């Protein structure tokens, strides 16, 4: 069930009044029923994988919690007789049991995820697999990470295990976020889901504005851009290097409009329900480096891997032993960089594989990691160069250069994950560099891919509006400014956007699948 489908809109329209009409203690049950309904309508087999993730995490976390409680009780009751060594030995025994439970749960869930990732990879190269009628579970990549995060947090004693399996099911399956995120922290999300919610004009109006804006970005920018992007990438051999250069940037803008549009829709809907989700974007195109870009783009994915992979690898015995040897020979600075290199390598191999096991995505992940690792080691060189050239950090020209460089870099990397094959990705760049004739090298079919020049102008105008709002949001909360505009003017603007979506959007979505780009992961 796509967020652009009529079924989703009906579900949302029914959910909001029912959610506020039921007793406040039962509001989370309405969310649970809605989430299960969403999954059933998206394909009834989806619910089995959600139930497995729920049951495995529930059994693992409650078992670990019982062992923790048993440890506390035993030490308290035998405080007078237990020596320091006995206490340490007992704690280590309990910790080993808890760790074994955690690892079994994680391995089971990761194996299911890897099975489907491998299935998609092999199906593309082994014809015999075409006869297998296997449907990839909706949102599997997202709720698997969220489930693992919860289990690890209980193991680390960051949170207590939830004793109600239905509440765990809602955490795993909360429908607005499961197909593309955000990947939520257990404590933060359950704190929102299980509190009592009140209907207020401010939450409802601000949430509706954001939801409508999300649909605008998805339909009027991303979906209108889609046929033009597809035309360039599917027929890149027919276009000049200049057009391929332009296409490299356009696909990144399309992905941003599509992905951030989705986040605006789900965050807007949740805000109407008085539920706050974690933000996933923070003006990524003003980033001055690749590492800053990933702190601003798909924020919750980066935060998850930093917390559960970077920290785990960086503090492991393996990293510790290497760090100790390097520190003795080359000093603490070199040791820190080596550990960062190991941890960053683990993160970006994992992120690439999480997206897909196809070669372009693996290469995309490796290139991101290599560039970041290179930057870590080159920091002293950068500092000396800036000092020698008298470049100041606050220089506007220098920072504009860094922003443009970062945008070009992430756009170039995105080509590999969007074009479909490693060979085509490399050929794309070869042609982009070598085939530079005078003019744009446009084919007539490009301008008339959809409805012709009219659609192209509409798309350009909508992109300009999206860019204008994003730029304004750098200095202030745009919705706060918008809500200070006269009530009638606000209504007229919102009605205009709604009418535009109804007229252009229905026609556009009928001709496309209406889905979101990041849902494929």
pLDDT digits (tens, 9 = 90+) for 197-215: 999 999 999 999 999 999 9
pLDDT of residue 305: 93
> Cβ neighbours of residue 71 under 8 Å, at least 6 residues apart?
90, 91, 94
How many domains does the chain fold into? Answer: 2
Domain boundary among 180, 197, 214: 197
7: tokens are 């079924």
Q: What angle do CA 45, 268, 259 make, to 5 degrees?
A: 65
User: What gap in Å lies between CA 121 and CA 360, rounded to an integer?
Assistant: 12
Lowest model confidence (mean pLDDT) among 11-15, 117-121, 202-206, 397-401: 117-121
Domain span at 15: 6-197
330 has a pLDDT exceeding 90? no
Residues 120 and 249 in one domain: no
Total length of the chain: 521
Whether residues 205 and 193 fall in one domain = no
Q: How far apart are CA 393 and CA 381, in angstroms?
A: 15
Distance, C-alpha 315 to centroid of its chain: 25
Of residues 4 and 56, more confidently modeled: 56
The pLDDT value given to residue 315: 83
Q: How far apart are CA 29 and CA 8, in angstroms?
A: 18
Average pLDDT value for the chain:
86
What mean pLDDT do residues 408-423 have?
Answer: 85
Question: Residue 290 has what pLDDT?
Answer: 93
Least confident of 23-32, 132-141, 485-494: 132-141
Please say whether the beta carbons of 339 and 323 come within 8 A: yes
Same domain, yes or no, for 133 and 263? no
The answer, yes or no, to whether residue 444 has pLDDT greater than 50, is: no
Q: Is residue 45 part of a domain?
A: yes
CA dist., res. 388 & res. 141, Å (int): 47
Q: Are residues 83 and 222 in the same domain?
A: no
Domain for residue 137, yes or no?
yes
Confirm whether 327 is domain-assigned: no
- For residue 131, report the phi and psi dihedrals to the nearest 5 degrees: -80, -15
Are 191 and 250 within one domain? Answer: no
State residue 181 phi and psi, 5-degree precision. 90, -170
Which segment, 61-65, 245-249, 477-481, is predicted with the most confidence on average?
Answer: 61-65
Domain co-membership, 115 together with 250: no
**Residues 153 and 235 grouped into a single domain:** no
332 lies in some domain: no
pTM of the model: 0.89
CA pair distance 227, 447, nearest whole angstrom: 10
Same domain, 17 and 109: yes
pLDDT category of residue 110 using cuts at 50, 70 and 90: very high
Q: Using a CB cutoff of 8 Å and minimum separation of 24, what contacts does 242-248 make?
A: 242/436, 242/437, 242/439, 242/440, 242/441, 243/440, 243/441, 243/442, 243/446, 244/428, 244/431, 244/432, 244/435, 245/432, 246/440, 248/411, 248/412, 248/414, 248/415, 248/432
Q: Band of the pLDDT at 235, cuts 50, 70, 90?
A: confident
Q: How many percent of the chain have pLDDT more than 70?
A: 90
Q: Which of 284, 291, 258, 108 is nearest to 179 (CA)?
A: 258
Q: Note whether 50 and 39 are within 8 A (CB).
A: yes
Residue 353: CA count within 13 A, CB half-sphere: 14
**Same domain (yes/no): 206, 272:** yes
Residue 167 shares a structural domain with residue 56: yes
Confidence band for 132, pLDDT divided at 50, 70 and 90: low
What pLDDT was estimated at residue 105?
Answer: 96
Find residue 320's DSSP bridge partners.
Answer: none
Whether 178 and 227 map to the same domain: the answer is no
Last residue of a domain, one of 197, 224, 242: 197
**Do 134 and 264 fall into the same domain?**
no
- Cβ within 8 Å of residue 256, ≥6 positions away: 281, 284, 285
Q: Is residue 93 part of a domain?
A: yes
């Amino acid at each position: 069930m796509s967020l652009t489908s009529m079924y989703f809109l009906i579900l949302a329209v029914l959910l909001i009044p029912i959610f506020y009409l039921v007793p406040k203690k039962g509001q989370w049950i309405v969310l649970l029923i809605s989430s299960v309904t969403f999954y059933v309508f998206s394909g009834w087999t989806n619910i089995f994988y959600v139930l497995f993730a729920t049951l495995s995490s529930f059994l693992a976390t409650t078992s670990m919690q019982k062992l923790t409680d048993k440890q506390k009780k035993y030490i308290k009751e035998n405080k007078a007789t237990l020596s320091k060594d006995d206490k340490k030995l007992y704690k280590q025994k309990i910790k080993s049991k808890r760790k074994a439970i955690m690892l079994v749960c994680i391995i089971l869930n990761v194996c299911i995820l890897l099975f489907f990732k491998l299935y998609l990879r092999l199906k593309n190269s082994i014809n015999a697999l075409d006869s297998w009628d296997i449907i990839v579970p909706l949102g599997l990549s997202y709720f698997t990470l969220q489930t693992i995060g919860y289990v690890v947090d209980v193991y680390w004693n960051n949170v207590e295990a939830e004793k109600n399996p239905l509440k765990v099911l809602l955490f795993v399956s909360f429908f607005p976020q499961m197909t593309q995120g955000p990947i939520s922290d257990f404590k933060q999300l359950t704190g929102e889901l299980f509190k009592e919610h009140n209907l207020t004009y401010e939450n409802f109006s601000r949430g509706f504005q954001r939801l409508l804006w999300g649909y605008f970005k998805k339909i009027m920018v991303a979906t209108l851009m889609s046929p033009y992007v597809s035309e360039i990438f599917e027929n890149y051999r027919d276009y000049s290097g200049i057009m391929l250069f332009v296409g490299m940037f356009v696909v990144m803008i399309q992905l941003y409009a599509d992905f951030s549009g989705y986040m605006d829709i789900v965050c807007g809907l949740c805000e109407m329900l008085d539920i706050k989700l974690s933000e996933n974007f923070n003006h990524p195109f003003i980033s001055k480096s690749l590492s800053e870009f990933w702190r601003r783009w798909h924020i919750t994915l980066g935060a998850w891997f930093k917390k559960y992979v970077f920290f785990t690898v960086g503090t492991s015995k393996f990293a510790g032993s290497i760090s100790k040897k390097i520190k003795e020979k080359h000093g603490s600075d070199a040791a820190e960089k080596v550990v960062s290199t190991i941890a960053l390598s683990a993160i970006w191999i994992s992120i690439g594989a999480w997206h897909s096991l196809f070669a372009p995505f693996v290469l995309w992940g490796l290139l991101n990691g290599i560039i970041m690792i290179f930057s870590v080691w080159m920091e002293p060189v950068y500092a000396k160069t800036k000092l020698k050239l008298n470049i100041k950090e606050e220089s506007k020209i220098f920072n504009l250069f860094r922003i443009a460089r970062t945008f070009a870099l992430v756009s170039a990397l995105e080509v590999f994950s969007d074009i479909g094959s490693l060979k085509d990705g490399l050929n794309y760049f070869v042609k982009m560099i070598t085939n530079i004739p005078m003019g744009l090298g446009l084919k007539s079919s490009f301008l008339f891919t959809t409805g012709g020049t009219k659609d192209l102008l509409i798309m350009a105008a909508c992109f300009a509006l999206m860019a204008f709002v994003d730029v304004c949001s750098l200095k202030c909360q745009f919705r706060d400014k918008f809500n200070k505009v006269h009530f009638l003017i606000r209504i007229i603007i919102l009605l205009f956007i709604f009418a535009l979506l109804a007229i252009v959007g229905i026609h556009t979505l009928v001709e496309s699948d209406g889905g979101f780009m990041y849902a494929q992961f």
